[in-house]
Structure 1
Amino acid sequence: MSTLTHSTPAPAQPSTDTRRQATARRRTPGHALLSKGVVNGLLILAVCYTLMPVSWLLIAATKNHRDLFATSGFTLGHFDLLANLRHVFTVNDGIYLRWFGNSVLYSVVGSAASTLICVATGYAFDKYDFRGKEKLFGLVLGGVLVPSTVIQLPMYLLAGKAGIVNTYWALLLPALVNPFGVYLARVFSEGYVPAEVLEAARVDGAGELRTFARIALPMLAPGFMTIFLFSFTASWNNFFGALVMLNDDHLYPVSLGLFMWNSVTQQQPEYYSLVITGSLVAVLPLIVAFVCLQRFWRSGLTAGAVK
Protein backbone atom coordinates (compact mmCIF):
# COMPACT_ATOMS: atom_id res chain seq x y z
CA MET A 1 0.00 0.00 0.00
CA SER A 2 1.59 3.17 -1.05
CA THR A 3 1.43 6.32 0.99
CA LEU A 4 0.48 9.46 -0.85
CA THR A 5 2.39 12.55 0.30
CA HIS A 6 1.07 15.96 -0.42
CA SER A 7 3.69 18.72 -0.53
CA THR A 8 2.61 21.99 0.96
CA PRO A 9 3.41 24.88 -1.39
CA ALA A 10 5.91 27.42 0.01
CA PRO A 11 4.44 30.77 0.92
CA ALA A 12 4.93 33.34 -1.80
CA GLN A 13 7.48 36.02 -1.02
CA PRO A 14 6.10 39.52 -1.13
CA SER A 15 7.26 41.50 -4.10
CA THR A 16 9.41 44.59 -3.87
CA ASP A 17 6.47 46.86 -4.69
CA THR A 18 4.38 45.20 -1.96
CA ARG A 19 7.11 45.76 0.62
CA ARG A 20 7.43 49.38 -0.44
CA GLN A 21 3.70 49.92 -0.10
CA ALA A 22 3.71 48.32 3.35
CA THR A 23 6.60 50.51 4.43
CA ALA A 24 4.81 53.59 3.12
CA ARG A 25 1.66 52.66 5.05
CA ARG A 26 3.66 52.26 8.25
CA ARG A 27 4.91 55.82 7.97
CA THR A 28 2.62 58.04 9.91
CA PRO A 29 1.53 61.41 8.56
CA GLY A 30 2.77 63.01 11.76
CA HIS A 31 6.33 61.84 11.10
CA ALA A 32 6.28 63.33 7.60
CA LEU A 33 4.87 66.62 8.91
CA LEU A 34 7.51 66.73 11.63
CA SER A 35 10.30 66.20 9.09
CA LYS A 36 8.95 68.92 6.81
CA GLY A 37 8.52 71.24 9.78
CA VAL A 38 12.12 70.77 10.90
CA VAL A 39 13.48 71.35 7.40
CA ASN A 40 11.30 74.41 6.82
CA GLY A 41 12.23 75.78 10.23
CA LEU A 42 15.93 75.48 9.48
CA LEU A 43 15.43 77.15 6.10
CA ILE A 44 13.53 80.02 7.73
CA LEU A 45 16.34 80.50 10.26
CA ALA A 46 18.91 80.55 7.47
CA VAL A 47 16.89 83.11 5.50
CA CYS A 48 16.47 85.33 8.57
CA TYR A 49 20.18 85.11 9.34
CA THR A 50 21.03 86.04 5.76
CA LEU A 51 18.54 88.90 5.40
CA MET A 52 18.99 90.45 8.85
CA PRO A 53 22.03 92.62 7.96
CA VAL A 54 20.41 93.76 4.71
CA SER A 55 17.12 94.56 6.45
CA TRP A 56 18.95 96.55 9.13
CA LEU A 57 20.83 98.43 6.41
CA LEU A 58 17.60 99.21 4.58
CA ILE A 59 15.89 100.49 7.75
CA ALA A 60 18.91 102.50 8.87
CA ALA A 61 19.23 104.16 5.47
CA THR A 62 15.74 105.65 5.88
CA LYS A 63 16.61 107.45 9.15
CA ASN A 64 18.01 110.88 9.67
CA HIS A 65 21.08 111.43 11.82
CA ARG A 66 19.12 111.92 15.05
CA ASP A 67 16.88 108.85 14.60
CA LEU A 68 19.91 106.74 13.71
CA PHE A 69 21.15 106.98 17.30
CA ALA A 70 17.88 107.69 19.13
CA THR A 71 15.99 104.57 17.98
CA SER A 72 16.76 100.87 18.01
CA GLY A 73 18.23 99.17 14.97
CA PHE A 74 15.00 97.71 13.56
CA THR A 75 12.71 100.60 14.51
CA LEU A 76 11.52 102.90 11.75
CA GLY A 77 12.12 106.60 12.14
CA HIS A 78 11.31 109.55 9.94
CA PHE A 79 11.51 108.45 6.31
CA ASP A 80 14.50 110.40 4.97
CA LEU A 81 15.81 107.97 2.38
CA LEU A 82 15.54 110.43 -0.50
CA ALA A 83 17.34 113.11 1.48
CA ASN A 84 20.07 110.64 2.43
CA LEU A 85 20.49 109.55 -1.18
CA ARG A 86 20.70 113.16 -2.33
CA HIS A 87 23.35 113.85 0.32
CA VAL A 88 25.40 110.79 -0.72
CA PHE A 89 25.40 111.74 -4.40
CA THR A 90 26.21 115.41 -3.86
CA VAL A 91 28.71 115.50 -0.98
CA ASN A 92 32.31 116.39 -1.93
CA ASP A 93 31.29 117.33 -5.48
CA GLY A 94 29.65 113.95 -6.10
CA ILE A 95 32.70 111.85 -5.31
CA TYR A 96 30.50 108.84 -4.55
CA LEU A 97 29.31 108.70 -8.16
CA ARG A 98 32.96 108.65 -9.24
CA TRP A 99 33.65 105.76 -6.88
CA PHE A 100 30.59 103.90 -8.11
CA GLY A 101 31.64 104.35 -11.73
CA ASN A 102 35.14 103.12 -10.90
CA SER A 103 33.67 99.99 -9.32
CA VAL A 104 31.57 99.38 -12.43
CA LEU A 105 34.68 99.75 -14.58
CA TYR A 106 36.81 97.43 -12.46
CA SER A 107 34.06 94.83 -12.06
CA VAL A 108 32.37 94.75 -15.47
CA VAL A 109 35.31 95.33 -17.79
CA GLY A 110 37.85 93.46 -15.69
CA SER A 111 35.52 90.53 -15.02
CA ALA A 112 34.44 90.22 -18.67
CA ALA A 113 38.05 90.14 -19.87
CA SER A 114 39.07 87.75 -17.09
CA THR A 115 36.16 85.42 -17.83
CA LEU A 116 36.96 85.30 -21.55
CA ILE A 117 40.57 84.41 -20.78
CA CYS A 118 39.49 81.74 -18.29
CA VAL A 119 37.02 80.17 -20.71
CA ALA A 120 39.58 80.09 -23.52
CA THR A 121 42.23 78.62 -21.22
CA GLY A 122 39.90 75.98 -19.77
CA TYR A 123 38.75 75.06 -23.28
CA ALA A 124 42.36 74.61 -24.36
CA PHE A 125 43.17 72.41 -21.36
CA ASP A 126 40.15 70.23 -22.13
CA LYS A 127 40.24 69.88 -25.91
CA TYR A 128 43.93 69.99 -26.80
CA ASP A 129 46.79 67.66 -25.96
CA PHE A 130 50.25 69.13 -25.48
CA ARG A 131 53.38 68.31 -23.55
CA GLY A 132 53.17 68.98 -19.82
CA LYS A 133 49.45 69.69 -19.95
CA GLU A 134 48.50 68.07 -16.65
CA LYS A 135 51.54 69.44 -14.84
CA LEU A 136 50.70 72.94 -16.05
CA PHE A 137 47.08 72.49 -14.99
CA GLY A 138 48.28 71.34 -11.58
CA LEU A 139 50.27 74.56 -11.33
CA VAL A 140 47.08 76.49 -12.10
CA LEU A 141 45.25 74.57 -9.37
CA GLY A 142 48.08 75.46 -7.00
CA GLY A 143 47.27 79.09 -7.62
CA VAL A 144 43.79 78.49 -6.22
CA LEU A 145 45.34 77.61 -2.85
CA VAL A 146 47.25 80.90 -2.57
CA PRO A 147 45.29 83.62 -0.71
CA SER A 148 45.02 86.86 -2.62
CA THR A 149 46.28 88.89 0.35
CA VAL A 150 49.58 86.98 0.28
CA ILE A 151 50.45 88.14 -3.23
CA GLN A 152 49.41 91.78 -2.82
CA LEU A 153 52.90 92.92 -1.82
CA PRO A 154 54.65 91.17 -4.76
CA MET A 155 52.01 92.55 -7.11
CA TYR A 156 52.56 96.03 -5.70
CA LEU A 157 56.31 95.74 -6.31
CA LEU A 158 55.71 94.51 -9.85
CA ALA A 159 53.23 97.32 -10.49
CA GLY A 160 55.78 99.80 -9.18
CA LYS A 161 58.40 98.47 -11.60
CA ALA A 162 55.88 98.73 -14.45
CA GLY A 163 54.85 102.25 -13.41
CA ILE A 164 51.13 101.52 -13.10
CA VAL A 165 50.70 102.10 -9.35
CA ASN A 166 47.84 104.52 -8.66
CA THR A 167 46.29 103.96 -12.08
CA TYR A 168 43.29 102.01 -13.32
CA TRP A 169 45.61 99.32 -14.67
CA ALA A 170 46.80 98.52 -11.15
CA LEU A 171 43.46 96.81 -10.47
CA LEU A 172 42.44 95.78 -13.98
CA LEU A 173 45.54 93.75 -14.86
CA PRO A 174 45.67 91.58 -11.69
CA ALA A 175 41.96 90.84 -12.13
CA LEU A 176 42.72 89.03 -15.40
CA VAL A 177 44.38 86.15 -13.52
CA ASN A 178 41.77 83.78 -12.08
CA PRO A 179 42.99 80.18 -11.49
CA PHE A 180 39.65 79.06 -10.06
CA GLY A 181 37.92 80.37 -13.17
CA VAL A 182 40.24 78.29 -15.36
CA TYR A 183 39.38 75.19 -13.36
CA LEU A 184 35.63 75.86 -13.69
CA ALA A 185 35.99 76.57 -17.40
CA ARG A 186 37.65 73.19 -17.98
CA VAL A 187 34.86 71.44 -16.09
CA PHE A 188 32.20 73.27 -18.12
CA SER A 189 34.02 72.52 -21.36
CA GLU A 190 34.03 68.80 -20.56
CA GLY A 191 30.29 68.85 -19.88
CA TYR A 192 28.97 71.24 -22.51
CA VAL A 193 31.17 70.94 -25.61
CA PRO A 194 31.11 67.49 -27.29
CA ALA A 195 34.27 66.58 -29.16
CA GLU A 196 32.16 65.29 -32.07
CA VAL A 197 30.75 68.78 -32.73
CA LEU A 198 34.23 70.28 -32.88
CA GLU A 199 35.41 67.51 -35.18
CA ALA A 200 32.48 68.14 -37.52
CA ALA A 201 33.36 71.85 -37.62
CA ARG A 202 36.97 71.04 -38.50
CA VAL A 203 35.82 68.71 -41.27
CA ASP A 204 33.73 71.58 -42.68
CA GLY A 205 36.88 73.69 -42.85
CA ALA A 206 36.50 75.90 -39.78
CA GLY A 207 39.73 77.03 -38.14
CA GLU A 208 40.44 76.58 -34.44
CA LEU A 209 39.74 80.20 -33.54
CA ARG A 210 36.48 80.25 -35.50
CA THR A 211 35.44 76.92 -33.99
CA PHE A 212 35.94 78.32 -30.50
CA ALA A 213 34.22 81.65 -31.19
CA ARG A 214 31.27 80.36 -33.24
CA ILE A 215 30.60 76.93 -31.73
CA ALA A 216 32.28 76.35 -28.35
CA LEU A 217 31.75 79.79 -26.83
CA PRO A 218 27.94 79.84 -27.33
CA MET A 219 27.76 76.34 -25.82
CA LEU A 220 29.75 77.60 -22.84
CA ALA A 221 27.38 80.50 -22.15
CA PRO A 222 26.16 79.08 -18.77
CA GLY A 223 29.74 78.50 -17.68
CA PHE A 224 30.76 81.93 -18.93
CA MET A 225 28.07 83.64 -16.87
CA THR A 226 28.81 81.53 -13.79
CA ILE A 227 32.51 82.45 -13.88
CA PHE A 228 31.58 86.07 -14.63
CA LEU A 229 29.36 86.23 -11.52
CA PHE A 230 32.15 84.85 -9.34
CA SER A 231 34.64 87.31 -10.80
CA PHE A 232 32.19 90.22 -10.68
CA THR A 233 31.46 89.63 -6.99
CA ALA A 234 35.15 89.34 -6.12
CA SER A 235 36.04 92.49 -8.06
CA TRP A 236 33.15 94.53 -6.62
CA ASN A 237 34.15 93.55 -3.07
CA ASN A 238 37.87 93.99 -3.69
CA PHE A 239 39.08 96.19 -0.87
CA PHE A 240 42.60 95.20 0.09
CA GLY A 241 43.97 95.32 -3.43
CA ALA A 242 42.61 98.83 -3.96
CA LEU A 243 43.96 99.91 -0.56
CA VAL A 244 47.45 98.78 -1.51
CA MET A 245 47.52 100.02 -5.10
CA LEU A 246 45.66 103.35 -5.02
CA ASN A 247 46.35 106.70 -3.38
CA ASP A 248 44.20 109.03 -5.47
CA ASP A 249 40.64 109.19 -4.10
CA HIS A 250 39.32 109.76 -7.62
CA LEU A 251 40.42 106.21 -8.50
CA TYR A 252 38.89 104.52 -5.45
CA PRO A 253 36.23 101.84 -5.87
CA VAL A 254 33.12 102.25 -3.78
CA SER A 255 34.29 99.79 -1.10
CA LEU A 256 37.49 101.75 -0.41
CA GLY A 257 35.64 105.07 -0.58
CA LEU A 258 33.13 103.95 2.05
CA PHE A 259 36.00 102.79 4.24
CA MET A 260 37.58 106.24 4.03
CA TRP A 261 34.27 107.86 4.96
CA ASN A 262 33.89 105.47 7.87
CA SER A 263 37.38 106.30 9.14
CA VAL A 264 36.37 109.94 9.79
CA THR A 265 33.07 109.23 11.56
CA GLN A 266 34.68 109.74 14.98
CA GLN A 267 35.55 113.32 14.10
CA GLN A 268 32.54 113.95 11.84
CA PRO A 269 29.54 111.86 13.04
CA GLU A 270 27.36 113.07 10.17
CA TYR A 271 29.28 110.65 7.93
CA TYR A 272 27.50 107.72 9.60
CA SER A 273 24.43 108.34 7.45
CA LEU A 274 26.59 108.64 4.35
CA VAL A 275 28.32 105.33 5.03
CA ILE A 276 25.05 103.49 5.69
CA THR A 277 23.20 104.86 2.69
CA GLY A 278 26.23 104.45 0.46
CA SER A 279 26.55 100.82 1.57
CA LEU A 280 22.93 100.20 0.65
CA VAL A 281 23.48 101.62 -2.83
CA ALA A 282 26.67 99.56 -3.20
CA VAL A 283 24.78 96.32 -2.53
CA LEU A 284 22.21 96.92 -5.27
CA PRO A 285 24.42 96.02 -8.29
CA LEU A 286 25.18 92.61 -6.80
CA ILE A 287 21.48 91.94 -6.23
CA VAL A 288 20.61 93.07 -9.77
CA ALA A 289 23.38 90.93 -11.27
CA PHE A 290 22.25 87.76 -9.50
CA VAL A 291 18.56 88.35 -10.23
CA CYS A 292 19.13 89.03 -13.92
CA LEU A 293 21.61 86.20 -14.46
CA GLN A 294 20.14 83.57 -12.14
CA ARG A 295 18.92 81.36 -15.00
CA PHE A 296 22.52 80.98 -16.19
CA TRP A 297 23.59 80.44 -12.59
CA ARG A 298 21.08 77.62 -12.05
CA SER A 299 21.92 75.89 -15.30
CA GLY A 300 25.60 76.19 -14.51
CA LEU A 301 25.22 74.63 -11.07
CA THR A 302 23.31 71.64 -12.52
CA ALA A 303 25.77 70.99 -15.34
CA GLY A 304 26.36 67.27 -15.69
CA ALA A 305 23.65 66.35 -13.17
CA VAL A 306 21.54 64.55 -15.82
CA LYS A 307 22.98 62.48 -18.60
Structure 2
Amino acid sequence: MDARSVAGAAVRGIAGGRGRRAANGGARRRSASGCAHAGACRRRTGGDDEPAAPATGRRHRVTVMTRPQRATRASGQARTTVLVTGFGPFPGVPVNATMLLLPALSLPATKLFPDVHFVFEVLPTEWSAGPRRLERLLAETTPDLALHFGVSSRARGFEIEQRARNACAATQDASGALPTGAAIREGGAEHLPASLPVRHIVARLHQRGIPAFVSRDAGTYLCNAALYHSLVCAKDKDAAGRRVGFVHIPATLARPGGPNRGRTGACPLTWDETLDGALEILAACLGRARPGARPA
Protein backbone atom coordinates (compact mmCIF):
# COMPACT_ATOMS: atom_id res chain seq x y z
CA MET A 1 0.00 0.00 0.00
CA ASP A 2 1.51 3.35 -1.02
CA ALA A 3 1.27 6.62 0.91
CA ARG A 4 -1.80 7.76 -1.03
CA SER A 5 -3.64 4.52 -0.29
CA VAL A 6 -2.71 4.71 3.38
CA ALA A 7 -3.98 8.28 3.57
CA GLY A 8 -7.24 7.29 1.91
CA ALA A 9 -7.72 4.38 4.28
CA ALA A 10 -7.04 6.64 7.24
CA VAL A 11 -9.57 9.19 6.12
CA ARG A 12 -12.23 6.56 5.49
CA GLY A 13 -11.72 5.18 8.98
CA ILE A 14 -12.03 8.47 10.80
CA ALA A 15 -14.92 8.72 13.21
CA GLY A 16 -16.70 11.84 14.37
CA GLY A 17 -19.62 13.25 16.27
CA ARG A 18 -21.35 16.59 16.44
CA GLY A 19 -20.67 18.70 19.55
CA ARG A 20 -23.24 18.74 22.32
CA ARG A 21 -23.75 22.49 21.97
CA ALA A 22 -24.48 22.22 18.25
CA ALA A 23 -27.99 21.03 19.14
CA ASN A 24 -28.90 24.43 20.56
CA GLY A 25 -27.40 26.28 17.62
CA GLY A 26 -24.07 27.13 19.23
CA ALA A 27 -22.10 26.24 16.15
CA ARG A 28 -24.50 28.06 13.85
CA ARG A 29 -24.06 31.29 15.75
CA ARG A 30 -20.35 31.21 15.04
CA SER A 31 -18.99 32.64 11.81
CA ALA A 32 -18.43 30.23 8.94
CA SER A 33 -14.73 30.99 9.09
CA GLY A 34 -14.33 29.68 12.63
CA CYS A 35 -13.62 31.23 16.02
CA ALA A 36 -14.03 34.89 16.87
CA HIS A 37 -10.27 35.30 16.53
CA ALA A 38 -10.34 33.95 12.99
CA GLY A 39 -8.60 36.97 11.49
CA ALA A 40 -5.58 36.37 13.67
CA CYS A 41 -5.82 32.59 13.59
CA ARG A 42 -5.69 32.30 9.84
CA ARG A 43 -2.87 34.69 9.30
CA ARG A 44 -0.05 32.16 9.56
CA THR A 45 1.15 29.24 11.55
CA GLY A 46 4.22 27.53 12.96
CA GLY A 47 5.09 24.19 14.55
CA ASP A 48 7.92 21.68 14.51
CA ASP A 49 8.34 18.39 12.68
CA GLU A 50 4.62 18.64 12.06
CA PRO A 51 2.54 16.63 9.65
CA ALA A 52 0.29 17.73 6.88
CA ALA A 53 -2.97 16.23 5.79
CA PRO A 54 -3.88 15.46 2.20
CA ALA A 55 -6.57 17.66 0.72
CA THR A 56 -8.80 14.63 0.25
CA GLY A 57 -9.03 14.20 4.01
CA ARG A 58 -10.36 17.60 4.90
CA ARG A 59 -14.07 16.91 5.04
CA HIS A 60 -14.42 13.14 5.29
CA ARG A 61 -15.86 12.42 8.72
CA VAL A 62 -18.13 9.57 9.70
CA THR A 63 -20.29 9.79 12.80
CA VAL A 64 -19.90 6.77 15.08
CA MET A 65 -22.28 6.36 18.01
CA THR A 66 -22.80 3.40 20.28
CA ARG A 67 -26.24 2.58 21.66
CA PRO A 68 -25.58 4.42 24.94
CA GLN A 69 -24.65 7.50 22.89
CA ARG A 70 -27.87 7.29 20.90
CA ALA A 71 -29.88 6.93 24.08
CA THR A 72 -28.14 9.95 25.59
CA ARG A 73 -28.80 12.02 22.47
CA ALA A 74 -32.47 11.01 22.48
CA SER A 75 -32.84 12.05 26.11
CA GLY A 76 -31.26 15.43 25.42
CA GLN A 77 -28.56 15.00 28.06
CA ALA A 78 -25.38 17.03 27.64
CA ARG A 79 -22.29 15.04 26.75
CA THR A 80 -18.62 15.81 26.53
CA THR A 81 -17.35 16.44 23.01
CA VAL A 82 -13.74 15.66 22.12
CA LEU A 83 -11.99 16.79 18.95
CA VAL A 84 -8.89 14.76 18.04
CA THR A 85 -6.77 15.90 15.09
CA GLY A 86 -3.73 14.63 13.24
CA PHE A 87 -1.91 15.55 10.04
CA GLY A 88 -1.12 13.95 6.73
CA PRO A 89 2.17 13.74 4.82
CA PHE A 90 4.54 16.67 4.50
CA PRO A 91 8.00 17.16 2.97
CA GLY A 92 10.29 14.41 4.27
CA VAL A 93 7.45 12.40 5.83
CA PRO A 94 5.54 10.49 3.11
CA VAL A 95 3.33 8.70 5.66
CA ASN A 96 2.37 10.52 8.83
CA ALA A 97 1.88 8.28 11.85
CA THR A 98 -0.99 10.43 13.12
CA MET A 99 -3.09 9.82 10.01
CA LEU A 100 -2.80 6.11 10.83
CA LEU A 101 -3.35 6.63 14.54
CA LEU A 102 -6.69 8.42 14.29
CA PRO A 103 -8.69 5.70 12.50
CA ALA A 104 -7.04 3.04 14.70
CA LEU A 105 -8.03 5.02 17.79
CA SER A 106 -11.62 5.85 16.86
CA LEU A 107 -13.31 2.51 17.62
CA PRO A 108 -11.55 1.69 20.94
CA ALA A 109 -12.03 5.26 22.15
CA THR A 110 -15.74 5.15 21.36
CA LYS A 111 -16.09 1.79 23.12
CA LEU A 112 -14.07 2.89 26.15
CA PHE A 113 -15.96 6.19 26.53
CA PRO A 114 -19.48 5.54 25.13
CA ASP A 115 -20.84 8.72 26.74
CA VAL A 116 -18.42 10.96 24.81
CA HIS A 117 -18.82 12.38 21.32
CA PHE A 118 -15.57 12.02 19.38
CA VAL A 119 -14.59 13.85 16.22
CA PHE A 120 -11.42 12.53 14.55
CA GLU A 121 -10.02 14.50 11.63
CA VAL A 122 -6.82 14.71 9.60
CA LEU A 123 -5.90 18.34 8.92
CA PRO A 124 -4.12 19.70 5.84
CA THR A 125 -0.48 20.45 6.61
CA GLU A 126 -0.65 23.82 4.97
CA TRP A 127 -0.01 27.24 6.44
CA SER A 128 -3.32 28.60 5.17
CA ALA A 129 -5.68 25.63 4.80
CA GLY A 130 -4.66 23.90 8.06
CA PRO A 131 -5.60 26.69 10.49
CA ARG A 132 -8.70 27.54 8.46
CA ARG A 133 -9.93 23.94 8.65
CA LEU A 134 -9.11 23.71 12.35
CA GLU A 135 -11.05 26.89 13.11
CA ARG A 136 -14.05 25.60 11.20
CA LEU A 137 -13.91 22.29 13.10
CA LEU A 138 -13.75 24.10 16.43
CA ALA A 139 -16.74 26.23 15.45
CA GLU A 140 -18.76 23.27 14.17
CA THR A 141 -18.09 20.88 17.05
CA THR A 142 -17.54 23.31 19.98
CA PRO A 143 -15.49 20.65 21.81
CA ASP A 144 -14.87 20.47 25.53
CA LEU A 145 -11.45 19.00 24.75
CA ALA A 146 -9.28 19.63 21.69
CA LEU A 147 -6.42 17.12 21.55
CA HIS A 148 -3.99 17.51 18.67
CA PHE A 149 -1.41 14.94 17.53
CA GLY A 150 1.65 15.42 15.35
CA VAL A 151 4.97 13.74 14.62
CA SER A 152 8.53 14.71 15.44
CA SER A 153 11.81 13.20 14.32
CA ARG A 154 13.20 14.03 17.78
CA ALA A 155 10.50 12.27 19.82
CA ARG A 156 11.51 9.11 21.68
CA GLY A 157 8.07 8.45 23.07
CA PHE A 158 5.03 10.59 23.79
CA GLU A 159 6.01 14.25 24.14
CA ILE A 160 3.29 16.25 25.86
CA GLU A 161 3.63 19.92 24.96
CA GLN A 162 3.38 22.51 27.71
CA ARG A 163 3.01 25.57 25.50
CA ALA A 164 2.81 27.02 22.00
CA ARG A 165 5.10 29.74 20.67
CA ASN A 166 4.04 32.68 18.52
CA ALA A 167 6.55 31.90 15.78
CA CYS A 168 6.72 30.02 12.51
CA ALA A 169 9.72 28.91 10.51
CA ALA A 170 10.16 29.75 6.83
CA THR A 171 9.59 26.11 5.93
CA GLN A 172 7.51 24.81 3.04
CA ASP A 173 4.23 23.09 3.78
CA ALA A 174 2.72 20.13 1.95
CA SER A 175 1.68 22.39 -0.93
CA GLY A 176 5.12 24.01 -1.21
CA ALA A 177 3.95 27.30 0.31
CA LEU A 178 5.74 29.31 3.00
CA PRO A 179 4.18 31.17 5.94
CA THR A 180 3.44 34.83 5.30
CA GLY A 181 5.52 36.04 8.22
CA ALA A 182 7.60 35.11 11.23
CA ALA A 183 4.72 35.24 13.73
CA ILE A 184 1.53 33.26 13.92
CA ARG A 185 -0.37 36.28 15.21
CA GLU A 186 1.05 39.79 15.04
CA GLY A 187 0.88 41.33 18.50
CA GLY A 188 -0.12 38.03 20.07
CA ALA A 189 1.35 36.55 23.23
CA GLU A 190 4.85 35.14 22.82
CA HIS A 191 3.76 31.89 24.45
CA LEU A 192 0.38 30.36 25.27
CA PRO A 193 0.21 27.57 27.88
CA ALA A 194 -1.57 24.33 27.07
CA SER A 195 -4.54 23.71 29.33
CA LEU A 196 -4.06 19.96 29.82
CA PRO A 197 -2.59 18.36 32.99
CA VAL A 198 0.74 17.74 31.25
CA ARG A 199 2.72 16.24 34.14
CA HIS A 200 -0.22 14.13 35.26
CA ILE A 201 -0.52 12.70 31.75
CA VAL A 202 3.18 11.84 31.69
CA ALA A 203 2.91 10.17 35.11
CA ARG A 204 -0.03 8.04 33.97
CA LEU A 205 1.82 6.95 30.85
CA HIS A 206 4.82 5.99 32.98
CA GLN A 207 2.52 3.89 35.17
CA ARG A 208 1.66 1.86 32.08
CA GLY A 209 5.34 1.47 31.21
CA ILE A 210 5.09 3.80 28.21
CA PRO A 211 7.90 6.28 27.44
CA ALA A 212 6.64 9.84 27.85
CA PHE A 213 8.16 13.26 28.42
CA VAL A 214 7.20 16.85 29.19
CA SER A 215 8.15 19.19 26.35
CA ARG A 216 8.43 22.98 26.43
CA ASP A 217 9.25 23.32 22.73
CA ALA A 218 6.58 22.44 20.17
CA GLY A 219 8.83 23.75 17.40
CA THR A 220 8.02 26.34 14.77
CA TYR A 221 6.26 24.28 12.12
CA LEU A 222 2.59 23.30 11.82
CA CYS A 223 2.35 21.33 15.09
CA ASN A 224 3.11 24.43 17.07
CA ALA A 225 0.87 26.44 14.77
CA ALA A 226 -2.12 24.18 15.34
CA LEU A 227 -1.65 24.35 19.10
CA TYR A 228 -1.33 28.15 19.08
CA HIS A 229 -4.40 28.60 16.89
CA SER A 230 -6.44 26.20 19.01
CA LEU A 231 -5.44 28.00 22.22
CA VAL A 232 -6.34 31.38 20.72
CA CYS A 233 -9.73 30.05 19.64
CA ALA A 234 -10.28 28.62 23.14
CA LYS A 235 -10.36 32.21 24.43
CA ASP A 236 -13.63 32.78 22.58
CA LYS A 237 -16.62 33.27 24.86
CA ASP A 238 -18.32 30.21 23.36
CA ALA A 239 -15.31 28.06 24.30
CA ALA A 240 -15.32 28.67 28.05
CA GLY A 241 -13.67 25.79 29.90
CA ARG A 242 -12.27 24.13 26.78
CA ARG A 243 -9.06 22.19 27.37
CA VAL A 244 -6.46 22.22 24.62
CA GLY A 245 -3.22 20.31 24.19
CA PHE A 246 -0.75 18.82 21.77
CA VAL A 247 1.06 15.48 21.73
CA HIS A 248 4.06 14.61 19.57
CA ILE A 249 4.79 11.00 18.67
CA PRO A 250 7.86 9.63 16.84
CA ALA A 251 7.82 10.15 13.08
CA THR A 252 9.42 6.70 12.69
CA LEU A 253 6.19 5.02 13.85
CA ALA A 254 4.98 5.05 10.23
CA ARG A 255 6.44 3.86 6.95
CA PRO A 256 5.07 3.64 3.38
CA GLY A 257 3.52 0.21 4.06
CA GLY A 258 1.72 1.27 7.25
CA PRO A 259 2.58 1.44 10.96
CA ASN A 260 6.03 0.40 12.11
CA ARG A 261 5.00 -2.14 14.74
CA GLY A 262 8.38 -3.16 16.08
CA ARG A 263 10.58 -1.40 18.61
CA THR A 264 13.85 -0.04 17.24
CA GLY A 265 16.70 2.06 18.56
CA ALA A 266 15.33 5.04 16.66
CA CYS A 267 11.80 4.45 17.96
CA PRO A 268 11.50 2.86 21.42
CA LEU A 269 7.71 3.19 21.22
CA THR A 270 5.78 0.30 19.63
CA TRP A 271 2.55 0.74 17.70
CA ASP A 272 0.56 -1.13 20.36
CA GLU A 273 2.03 1.17 23.02
CA THR A 274 1.08 4.15 20.87
CA LEU A 275 -2.57 3.09 20.76
CA ASP A 276 -2.58 2.26 24.47
CA GLY A 277 -0.88 5.55 25.30
CA ALA A 278 -3.30 7.60 23.21
CA LEU A 279 -6.23 6.02 25.06
CA GLU A 280 -4.52 6.72 28.37
CA ILE A 281 -4.05 10.37 27.40
CA LEU A 282 -7.75 10.64 26.57
CA ALA A 283 -8.63 9.01 29.89
CA ALA A 284 -6.37 11.40 31.81
CA CYS A 285 -7.85 14.44 30.05
CA LEU A 286 -11.37 13.21 30.76
CA GLY A 287 -10.58 12.40 34.38
CA ARG A 288 -11.29 8.71 33.90
CA ALA A 289 -9.51 5.62 35.21
CA ARG A 290 -8.40 2.71 33.03
CA PRO A 291 -7.53 -0.84 34.10
CA GLY A 292 -4.06 -2.22 33.61
CA ALA A 293 -1.88 0.54 35.06
CA ARG A 294 1.43 -0.72 36.36
CA PRO A 295 2.83 0.39 39.72
CA ALA A 296 4.94 3.52 39.34
Q: TM-score, with normalisation over the residues of structure 2?
A: 0.24
Q: More strand by proportion, 1 or 2?
A: 2
Larger radius of gyration: 1
Q: TM-score, with normalisation over the residues of structure 1?
A: 0.23
